[in-house]
Amino acid sequence: MSPLVVDARGHHCPVPSLRLRKALEAAAPGATVVLLADDPMARIDVPHLLLDGPHRLVSVDEVDGALRFSVASGGRPD
């Protein structure tokens, strides 16, 4: 299954995290959601968003001047 890609490049805090949260709410458990963001604050905001689960940050890479966050969906919290 291909990951769902959320392209939030060009947007500033808190938009990248809000778009990621919306995508994760709709994602099936076990799905991968990839967030692309060029706001440096995303490096702080995204891990903070994921602190309480059920989603898990898999990796953070820098690609072509943007941050690429791979997140595994844990499903919707009860």
Q: Which residues contact 64 (CB under 8 A, 6 or more apart)?
A: none
Which of the four pLDDT bands, split at 50, 70 and 90, describes residue 1?
confident
Residue-level pLDDT at 75: 66
Q: In this structure, which amino acid lies at residue 26?
A: A
Alpha helices (H) along the chain: 15-26, 42-49
pLDDT in tens, 33-58: 999 999 999 999 999 999 988 999 99
Instruction: Look up residue 41 and give its two tokens.
Output: 């604050």
pLDDT in tens, 8-21: 999 999 999 999 99
Residue 64 CB coordination number (10 Å): 8
Q: Is the dihedral of CA 41, 67, 60, 34 positive or negative?
A: positive
- Strand-pair partners of 68: 36, 61
pLDDT greater than 70 at residue 60: yes
